[in-house]
Amino acid sequence: MLFEEFDPLKGKTLQILDQDGKIVNDKLVPKIKKDTLMKMYHTMVLGRIADEKALQFQRQGRMLTYAPNHGQEAAQLGSIAAMDDDDWLVLAFREMNAMLYKGVTLEQSFLYWLGNEWGSRFNDDVKVLPINVPIGSQISHAAGLAYAAKLKGTKEVAIAYIGDGGTSHGEFHEGMSFASAYDLPMIVIIQNNQYAISTPREKTIKSKTLAQKAIAYGIPGIQVDGNDPLAMYLATETARERALKGEGPTLIEAVTYRMGPHTTSDNPKLYREDSEVEEWEKKDPLKRFKKYLIDKKYWTDKKDEDLHETSKKEVLDTFKKVENSGEVDLEDIFKYTYESLTPELEKQMKYYQEFLNEEGAK
């Protein structure tokens, strides 16, 4: 019923919690346990502080590069919290909040952005694929996992994330088409953060919404306020129920905003106005979720101050540990692409080792 009511062609956007933290649709409030709500908020705060510090570390020359996700916390945590431990998380590169919630450690996340391959080696019980930088191919990976789950008859669902610009890439269409044709248990979250690097969403895609792309695949699509964690939870929970019934994939468009740069190589001040950013600051997902939790008597300003302090200490201590863990071993840079090194990679590794020897490095 939810997907029929919010059919993309009706021009409606699902919202339960407005930007002031007030419930605007009582009938649709999902039943979420207090522990889950608090885990969502704690992860939001930790992710926000880690994000801000990572940007500073990169500017100080202490981190190679980084893809900020400030502003997109609810789009990720509202959706991942509706998933089960046995479900698969298949991400692009801007989903640190979803990764933290699913069991990837902050230390592993920082290791990755410092160029250490061990940042992609998760514990066996953490069903998260490594960060996928090539645009769109994660949708094919998720379709493959969902296909395997269907063949094995397990109750696993694959949830994948992609940006608005990524929906123009070939592998997005290929993965969606395959998943819909075989009724695979897959959910795709489009994080529509309004820009494909520096290009406004309106200049990259003619369709009025991204959710309506679902119509071409013959599956449900829904546009959701991506800064509303409750709405994101409800849409994903409903999509997961469909998937477990064998009814196939669902496409969810989370309308959100990237408050920072695309990556640390980008300067958004060159292509967007400060006034636009200020308007989106009023829709900050953390502020509205905090207000909701306080109104429910689950949270207080004092607890919030304490959480920010402990989270800040955790971020600083973790980064210090990662930074002091030593240089990346040369072989680690080459040996994880294939099962065994190709002749070309062996040649490159030898060449670089000789270069380091000449420079007096190890």
pLDDT number for residue 135: 93
Q: Are residues 357 and 319 in the same domain?
A: no
Same domain for 336 and 322: no
**In a shared domain, residues 356 and 310:** no
- In this structure, the answer to whether residues 25 and 94 fall within a common structural domain is yes
* CB-based contact 88:98 (threshold 8 Å): no
User: pLDDT digit string (tens) for 97-150?
Assistant: 999 999 999 999 999 999 888 899 999 999 999 999 999 999 999 999 999 999
Active site annotation includes 112: no
Q: Which of 139, 132, 144, 232 is nearest to 184 (CA)?
A: 144
Same domain, 223 and 291: yes
pLDDT for the residue numbered 139: 98
Global pTM exceeds 0.85: yes
353 lies in the same domain as 240? no
Catalytic residue among 48, 94, 240, 262: 262
What is residue 361's predicted lDDT score, i.e. its pLDDT? 63
Q: What is the CATH number of the domain that holds 145?
A: 3.40.50.970
One domain for residues 226 and 347: no
- Given the residues 242, 258, 288, 292, select the one marked as catalytic: 258
Give pLDDT, residue 335.
84
343 and 266 in one domain? no
Q: Is residue 322 domain-shared with residue 345, that is, in the same domain?
A: no
Extract the residue ranges of the chain whose pLDDT is less than 50: none
Cα 73 to Cα 52: distance, rounded to the nearest angstrom: 13
The yes-or-no answer on residue 271 being catalytic is yes
- Claim to verify: residue 343 and residue 318 sit in the same structural domain: no
Residues 293 and 243 reside in one and the same domain: yes
The residue range of the domain holding 128 is 2-328
Q: Are residues 61 and 101 in the same domain?
A: yes
Identify whether 242 is a catalytic site residue. Answer: no
Q: What is the pLDDT of residue 56?
A: 95
From residue 120, alpha-carbon distances to 73, 109, 123 in Å are: 21, 8, 10
Candidate list 62, 121, 271, 336, residue with the active-site label: 271
Backbone angles phi, psi at 321, to 5 degrees: -65, -45
Q: How many domains does the chain have?
A: 2
